Amino acid sequence: MKVDYHAAIGTGFWRTEFTLADDTLMNFYLGDRLMLKLKPALINKQSEAQCIPEKARIHHRDGGISANYEVLNLIPFGSEPEISRDFDFTDGFVRVTQDIDAGKNAVLKELSLDAMVLPGPWRRIAVAGIPGAGKTFPELKWIELDGESEEVFFAETYPFLAFIAESPDGKCFEVGCGDDLWRWGSAADLPGCTAEFRISGNKDSLEISRRPVLFDAESGEKPEASRRTWRFKWYFAWSDIVAVESGDRKPVTVDMPDFVELGGKYPCMHAKSMRKKIRQALRGIIGTNENTDIVLTNAEAVICNQESHLDRGTKKNFLHWDAWDLMELFVWANRKAMASGCTFRLAPPVSGKVETPLFRRLTRNGFQNICGE
């Protein structure tokens, strides 16, 4: 008899439904609209749809600002691969940390990571590539979707930074990489290995395929033989045409460039010293103020390749993106601020554009309480 593995996390405006050991791992709804169908992973051609869930646990956070869904799936065949995921929910975005273990005495030869189907209709899309170190999020170049024939919008051996789709009624969905750009691009540093990232579809349905590890059996090169767990981070975010106002209280501002590490060329929140200084400053403001809106000004995510920000030994690829760190700071600061009636948000530079669902969320106050069962 097939066991039913269900869980649901959401608010009155959005909800996520999990169905483990099935052809669809997760469905995400914004209102009544199905925005995303997340498919199981494929490890060396073995499908996670045949898994046995070993752990599926919801953790509620103080104040309802966030919730965590922890999942561990075992594929009970062959080398018995394991896939663990940590879904960190906030009202507006979800951070996903995913670990892949190819199993007993096995190496990872091929990985298809959680394909996505985005049911339409969609009005337009934008694909943001990864810019060079020191660059911020690129200006979006929208592609209007007005045909029914399938098109390929992105097909590369390296990942996209973020992808945004907008529906005719203004709802937006976004999916992007985590801070670990070096992991998503690791195939380029492994002999006999490549990767495939693809976005295709039309106004009625879009598909995202992510295959970060593909060893070529005919190349004569052997896959990386050491046993290791492969970790990947990614996020998805959403927004509706209805925006929550930030309020009219006089804000206390903290300027992000003031915390650049010594010798740093630009603000990167992945630098431990910068994260520590900003959190110390925010603790002080929260501890001495009540009912105050705290704003981190000139805040924007940056692509960085500073070696000291990562513990990677002798590796050569140090590329990272601190949007993940800004999401963590946003949740952490708002959780701290709740006790004194304060709020926290980001404000980009005057010349900065806030075009994506993620950054729209980070620049406004207000939370819907998250519940899970």
Q: How confident is the model at residue 311 (pLDDT cuts 50, 70, 90)?
A: confident
* pLDDT for 36 beyond 60: yes
Identify the pLDDT of residue 178.
Answer: 97
Cα–Cα distance measured from residue 231 to residue 101, given in angstroms and rounded to the nearest whole number:
9
Helix (H, G, I), strand (E, B) or coil at 101: strand
> For residues 317 and 187, is the Cβ–Cβ distance under 8 A?
no
Identify the pLDDT of residue 44.
Answer: 92
Cα–Cα distance measured from residue 20 to residue 212, given in angstroms and rounded to the nearest whole number:
23
For residues 120-142, average pLDDT: 95
Identify the pLDDT of residue 9.
Answer: 97
Identify the pLDDT of residue 150.
Answer: 92
Q: How confident is the model at residue 307 (pLDDT cuts 50, 70, 90)?
A: confident
For residues 301-307, average pLDDT: 92
Q: Which of 18-27, 51-60, 152-161, 254-263 has the highest mean pLDDT?
A: 152-161
Percent of the chain with pLDDT over 70: 92
Angle between helices 323-337 and 272-288 (to 10 degrees): 20
* pLDDT for 131 beyond 90: yes
* pLDDT for 1 beyond 50: no
Q: How confident is the model at residue 355 (pLDDT cuts 50, 70, 90)?
A: confident
Mean pLDDT lowest among 102-116, 124-138, 162-176: 102-116
> For residues 334 and 65, is the Cβ–Cβ distance under 8 A?
yes
Identify the pLDDT of residue 115.
Answer: 95
**DSSP β-bridge partners for residue 6:** 19
* CATH fold for the domain made of 6-239: Beta-galactosidase; Chain A, domain 5 (2.70.98)
Cα–Cα distance measured from residue 16 to residue 14, given in angstroms and rounded to the nearest whole number:
7
For residues 181-194, average pLDDT: 91
Q: Greater confidence, 311 or 116?
A: 116
Q: Quick one: tokens of 316?
A: 């050569």
Mean pLDDT of the chain: 90
Cα–Cα distance measured from residue 144 to residue 288, given in angstroms and rounded to the nearest whole number:
49
Percent of the chain with pLDDT over 90: 75
Q: How confident is the model at residue 65 (pLDDT cuts 50, 70, 90)?
A: very high
Q: Quick one: tokens of 144?
A: 């209007």
> For residues 179 and 320, is the Cβ–Cβ distance under 8 A?
yes
Cα dihedral sign for 12, 357, 129, 186?
negative
Select from 300, 356, 358 the least CA-distant residue to 142: 356
Dump pLDDT digits (tens) for 266-278.
899 999 999 999 9
Dump pLDDT digits (tens) for 37-46.
999 999 999 9
Mean pLDDT lowest among 20-29, 192-201, 212-221, 240-249: 240-249
Cα–Cα distance measured from residue 143 to residue 141, given in angstroms and rounded to the nearest whole number:
7
> For residues 339 and 287, is the Cβ–Cβ distance under 8 A?
no
Q: Which of 3-17, 33-47, 205-219 has the highest mean pLDDT?
A: 33-47
For residues 14-43, average pLDDT: 95
- Domain ranges, ordered by start, for the chain: 6-239, 251-372
Cα–Cα distance measured from residue 296 to residue 348, given in angstroms and rounded to the nearest whole number:
8
Mean pLDDT lowest among 79-88, 131-140, 218-227: 218-227
pTM above 0.85, yes or no: yes
Cα–Cα distance measured from residue 166 to residue 123, given in angstroms and rounded to the nearest whole number:
6
